[in-house]
C-alpha cells in the first residue's frame, strides 16, 4: 500500500499556476507565486491560460488562477478560449471533484464591474465540483498601495493552507513568517549566449530596425487568435491629422494606415493593435547604463526548461541569435512602465554601494512597501529612472530580461469601415500626458510616438494586426443607439460609415441610428464634426427624416455642465421607440463614471416612458445585456 502512495505524494507536490493577463500584471503575480512556491519546496508550473489545455484540469491536484478584469467585466484575450471551455454544459458538477483551487483577481474598484472575471471564475470552478483552498483574493488598483496590499496577506494564508495539505519533505524547512528570501537569489530563468563575431552589416540593418519596409504578402492576419502574429501587417502611414484645435489642451489625432496588398480584413468593432517604438535616446541610455554592447548578437533560451520563461504563446524561446539593441527595443519597456517590486529585490544583489543595497533591501520588504509605492508606482518611475537612482547596480542581461516590464502592444478601436476604405484602417488617438504628484510631466509612450510621425517626411511603416473587439455591428436592419463621448466615438464612426456606405449602394434596408456624442467645447474638440453633420442630412442613417438623430453634448460651453446622459434623457421618447423596435445599445469611452452614468440614464428613460418603477427598468436593462442588446467597451 505504501509503495502505491509514494508516487502520489510526488504528484501532489505539483502546483499549477495559470494566469490571464492583458497588461502583464497577472503574469507578474503568477511568476511571484512560482518563486515563492519553490521556496516552499513545491514544484510550480507557471503558464498562460491560453497555452494550457483546460481538459487537463481534472488531473491536477492543486491549481492557482490569477486573472485580471478588463474593460467592463471582460476577460483578457488569453482567457477567452479557456473560459469558453469551462462554460460547456457537458462538464458535470463533479468534473473537478479531485481538484483543489484558489483564485486571485486583479481589478480596479473604480470600474462598475470590479474584479468580476475572478468572481465568475471562482463561482464556475465551484459549480464544476472544485474544492477551494481558501476564499478568493481580490487585488484593487485603487488601494493606496496597489493590488499587492491584498496579495501579500492572501499569499501568506495560501502557503499555510497548502502546507496543511502537502507534508513538508523530510530534512527541509519552510521559510519562517516574515522571511522574504532576500538573502537568496535563485539562478536566472533564462541563459544568454553571446556571439560577438556576428557583425555583418546587412544583418545589423535588418535586425536593428523593426519598422523597416518589408514585404507584406506573407503576413499573419491573426484576426481570431491571441497574441501578436509572427509577421504582422506593415501598414504605411498615410495621414496624421490633428482633430482638436491647436490651442486645446487635449491633442487627438486621426491616423490613416494603408494595408497595401496584405489582404488583411476587419469589420466594424474590431481592434487594431500595434507595437510602439521606444525613444531611441532612452534605449541608448539604457544600453550604456547596463554596459550592454548594442551590436552584439545573443541567443536567449530557458534555463533548465523553466516554464515561467516561456513566451506569451507558451513556447520556450528558440535558440536564434538576436541583436542586443533589437532585444531591448522590442521586448523591454525601459522608459514608460513602472517596474515591479521584484526588480528592487534582484537589484539588491547587484548593488556595489552599501547604502544603495540597504535601501533596495528595505524596498523589497513588507515594511518598505509603502515607501516603495510612494517612490515607484505613485510617481510612475521608469526602469531607466530607477537604474539612474541606483548607479552602482549592474544587472546582467539575464536578469534584465526577467525583471524589466515587457513592452506591451497598444490597442485602438478601428474608426473606419473597410467597405468605404477597402485597403485602409483608421484609428483615433488621444495623446496621453499628465503630471505626477511631484509635478513631473509624463507622456504616453505609444500616443506620443504616433503623434510624432509625419508621412510627408518619407515612407513610414507601422507593424499592426487585427483582433475581435467587444462590440459587434449587427445587421443593417437593426436600429442602433450609440453613446460615444470623446474618443469613444471611434468605433461608432466605423459603425455609421459602414451603414452610410451600405445605404449608398441601395441594395439593402438600413435602420436608423441615434448617436450621442460628447466633448468639452464645440469649437475646440468636436471630433469628426463634418462627418456627423453630413451623415445627419437628407435620408442618411443619422437623419431625423428617417428616425435617426445626432445629439452632441458640449460640457463646458455653458455654466452648467451637460453630458451625454443628459441628452439621452432629453431624447427619452426616441430612445424608448428604438428599444421597443428591437434596437441595440452600444456604449464606448472612458471606464470611470461614464458607463454607470449612461446606464442610469437609460434606466430613468425606460422607467418614465414605460411607466415602470426604476427597479423594473433596471431589470429590463440587465435583460438587454444578457441578450447582447446592451454592450459596453470602455478603457481607462
Rounded Cα distance, 141 and 149, in Å: 9
Rounded Cα distance, 248 and 238, in Å: 24
End-to-end CA distance of the chain: 58
152 is in an annotated binding site: no
487 is in an annotated binding site: yes
Among all chains, which residue has been given the C-alpha cell 494606415? 257
68 is in an annotated binding site: yes
Pair 574, 469: CB distance under 8 Å: no
202 is in an annotated binding site: no
235 is in an annotated binding site: no
Q: Which residues pair with 2 in a beta bridge?
A: none
35 is in an annotated binding site: no
Rounded Cα distance, 140 and 153, in Å: 14
Pair 142, 163: CB distance under 8 Å: no
244 is in an annotated binding site: no
556 is in an annotated binding site: yes
307 DSSP assignment: G
Rounded Cα distance, 486 and 494, in Å: 15
446 is in an annotated binding site: yes
Give me the long-range contacts of 436-439 (CB less than 8 A, separation at least 24). 436/378, 436/379, 436/380, 437/378, 437/379, 438/379
81 is in an annotated binding site: no
Q: Which residues lie closer than 8 Å to 147 by C-beta, 6 or more apart?
A: 25, 29, 106, 139, 140, 141
> What are the backbone dihedrals phi and psi of residue 371, each rounded to the nearest 5 degrees, phi first?
-65, -35
282 is in an annotated binding site: no
Strands of 35-87, DSSP E: 43-48, 62-68
490 is in an annotated binding site: no
Pair 277, 410: CB distance under 8 Å: no
447 is in an annotated binding site: yes
Q: Which residues lie closer than 8 Å to 612 by C-beta, 6 or more apart?
A: 606, 620
Coil/strand/helix, residue 145: coil
Rounded Cα distance, 548 and 536, in Å: 8
Q: Report DSSP letters for 451-520, one per residue.
A: HH--GGGS--EEEEEEE--S-----TTS-EEEE--GGGGHHHHHHHHHHHHHHHHTSS----EEEEEEES
C-alpha cell at 24: 502583464
Pair 276, 445: CB distance under 8 Å: yes
43 is in an annotated binding site: no
Query: Cα separations (Å) of 167 from 43, 164, 250?
Result: 13, 7, 59
Strands of 3-136, DSSP E: 14-20, 43-48, 62-68, 100-107, 131-132
176 is in an annotated binding site: no
532 is in an annotated binding site: no
- Give the torsion through C-alpha atoms of 554, 560, 562, 563, to 10 deg: 110
499 is in an annotated binding site: no
445 is in an annotated binding site: yes
Q: Which residues pair with 191 in a beta bridge?
A: 301
70 is in an annotated binding site: yes
118 is in an annotated binding site: no
635 is in an annotated binding site: yes
319 DSSP assignment: -
71 is in an annotated binding site: yes
338 is in an annotated binding site: no
260 is in an annotated binding site: no
Where residue 274 falls (left for φ over 0; alpha for ψ -120 to 50; beta otherwise) is: beta
Q: Mark 393-404 as b/e (b = at least 16 C-beta within 10 Å).
A: bebebbbbbbbb
**Residue positions forming the annotated binding site for FMN:** 21-26, 68-71, 141
Annotated binding site for NADP(+): 487, 555-556, 561-565, 597
Per the annotation, where are the binding residues? 21-26, 68-71, 141, 380, 410-413, 444-447, 487, 555-556, 561-565, 597, 635
Amino acid at each position: 500500500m505504501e509503495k502505491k502512495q509514494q508516487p502520489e505524494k510526488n504528484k501532489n507536490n505539483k502546483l499549477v499556476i495559470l494566469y490571464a493577463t492583458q497588461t502583464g500584471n497577472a503574469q507578474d503575480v503568477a511568476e511571484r507565486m512560482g518563486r515563492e512556491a519553490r521556496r516552499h519546496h513545491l514544484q510550480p508550473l507557471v503558464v498562460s491560460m491560453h497555452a494550457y489545455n483546460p481538459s487537463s484540469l481534472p488531473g491536477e491536484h492543486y491549481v492557482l488562477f490569477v486573472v485580471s478584469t478588463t474593460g467592463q467585466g471582460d476577460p483578457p484575450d488569453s482567457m477567452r478560449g479557456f473560459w469558453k471551455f469551462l462554460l460547456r454544459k457537458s462538464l458535470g458538477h463533479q468534473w473537478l471533484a479531485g481538484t483543489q483551487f484558489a483564485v486571485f483577481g486583479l481589478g480596479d474598484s473604480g470600474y462598475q464591474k470590479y474584479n468580476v472575471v475572478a468572481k465568475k471564475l471562482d463561482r464556475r470552478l465551484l459549480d464544476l465540483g472544485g474544492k477551494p483552498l481558501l476564499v478568493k483574493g481580490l487585488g484593487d488598483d485603487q488601494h493606496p498601495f496597489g493590488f499587492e496590499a491584498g496579495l501579500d496577506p492572501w499569499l501568506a494564508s495560501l502557503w499555510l493552507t497548502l502546507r496543511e495539505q502537502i507534508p513538508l519533505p523530510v530534512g527541509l524547512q519552510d521559510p519562517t513568517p516574515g522571511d522574504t528570501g532576500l538573502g537568496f537569489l535563485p539562478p536566472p530563468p533564462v541563459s544568454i549566449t553571446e556571439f560577438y563575431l556576428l557583425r555583418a552589416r546587412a544583418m545589423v540593418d535588418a535586425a536593428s530596425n523593426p519598422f523597416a519596409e518589408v514585404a507584406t504578402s506573407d503576413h499573419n492576419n491573426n484576426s481570431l487568435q491571441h497574441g501578436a502574429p509572427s509577421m504582422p501587417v506593415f501598414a504605411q502611414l498615410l495621414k496624421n491629422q490633428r482633430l482638436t484645435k491647436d490651442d486645446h489642451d487635449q491633442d487627438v489625432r486621426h491616423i490613416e494606415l494603408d494595408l497595401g496588398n496584405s489582404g488583411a480584413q476587419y469589420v466594424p468593432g474590431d481592434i487594431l493593435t500595434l507595437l510602439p517604438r521606444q525613444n531611441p535616446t532612452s534605449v541608448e541610455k539604457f544600453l550604456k547604463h547596463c554596459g550592454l554592447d548594442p551590436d552584439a548578437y545573443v541567443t536567449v533560451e530557458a534555463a533548465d526548461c523553466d516554464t515561467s520563461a516561456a513566451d506569451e504563446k507558451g513556447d520556450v524561446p528558440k535558440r536564434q541569435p538576436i541583436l542586443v539593441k533589437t532585444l531591448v527595443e522590442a521586448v523591454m519597456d525601459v522608459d514608460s512602465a513602472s517596474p515591479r517590486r521584484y526588480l528592487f529585490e534582484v537589484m539588491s544583489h547587484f548593488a556595489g554601494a552599501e547604502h544603495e543595497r540597504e535601501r533596495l533591501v528595505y524596498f523589497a520588504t513588507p515594511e518598505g512597501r509603502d515607501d516603495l509605492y510612494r517612490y515607484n508606482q505613485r510617481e510612475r518611475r521608469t526602469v531607466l529612472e530607477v537604474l539612474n537612482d541606483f548607479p552602482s547596480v549592474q544587472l546582467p542581461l539575464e536578469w534584465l530580461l526577467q525583471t524589466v516590464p515587457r513592452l506591451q502592444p497598444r490597442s485602438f478601436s478601428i474608426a473606419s469601415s473597410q467597405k468605404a476604405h477597402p485597403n485602409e484602417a483608421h484609428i483615433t488617438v488621444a495623446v496621453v500626458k499628465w503630471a505626477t504628484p511631484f509635478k513631473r510631466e509624463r507622456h504616453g509612450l505609444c500616443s506620443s510616438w504616433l503623434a510624432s510621425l509625419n508621412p510627408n517626411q518619407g515612407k513610414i511603416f507601422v507593424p499592426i494586426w487585427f483582433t475581435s473587439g467587444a462590440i459587434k455591428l449587427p445587421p443593417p436592419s437593426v436600429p442602433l443607439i450609440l453613446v460615444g463621448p470623446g474618443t469613444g466615438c471611434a468605433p461608432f464612426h466605423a459603425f455609421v460609415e459602414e451603414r452610410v456606405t451600405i445605404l449608398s449602394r441601395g441594395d439593402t434596408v438600413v435602420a436608423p441610428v441615434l448617436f450621442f456624442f460628447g466633448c468639452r467645447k464645440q469649437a475646440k474638440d468636436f471630433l469628426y464634426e463634418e462627418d456627423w453633420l453630413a451623415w445627419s442630412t437628407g435620408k442618411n442613417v443619422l437623419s431625423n427624416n428617417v428616425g435617426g438623430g445626432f445629439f452632441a453634448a458640449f460640457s463646458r460651453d455653458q455654466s452648467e455642465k451637460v453630458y451625454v446622459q443628459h441628452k439621452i434623457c432629453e431624447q427619452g421618447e426616441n430612445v424608448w421607440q428604438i428599444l421597443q423596435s428591437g434596437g441595440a445599445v452600444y456604449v464606448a469611452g472612458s471606464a470611470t463614471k461614464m458607463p454607470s452614468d449612461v446606464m442610469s440614464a437609460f434606466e430613468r428613460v425606460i422607467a418614465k416612458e414605460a411607466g415602470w418603477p426604476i427597479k423594473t427598468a433596471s431589470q429590463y436593462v440587465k435583460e438587454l445585456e444578457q441578450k447582447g442588446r446592451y454592450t459596453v467597451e470602455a478603457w481607462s
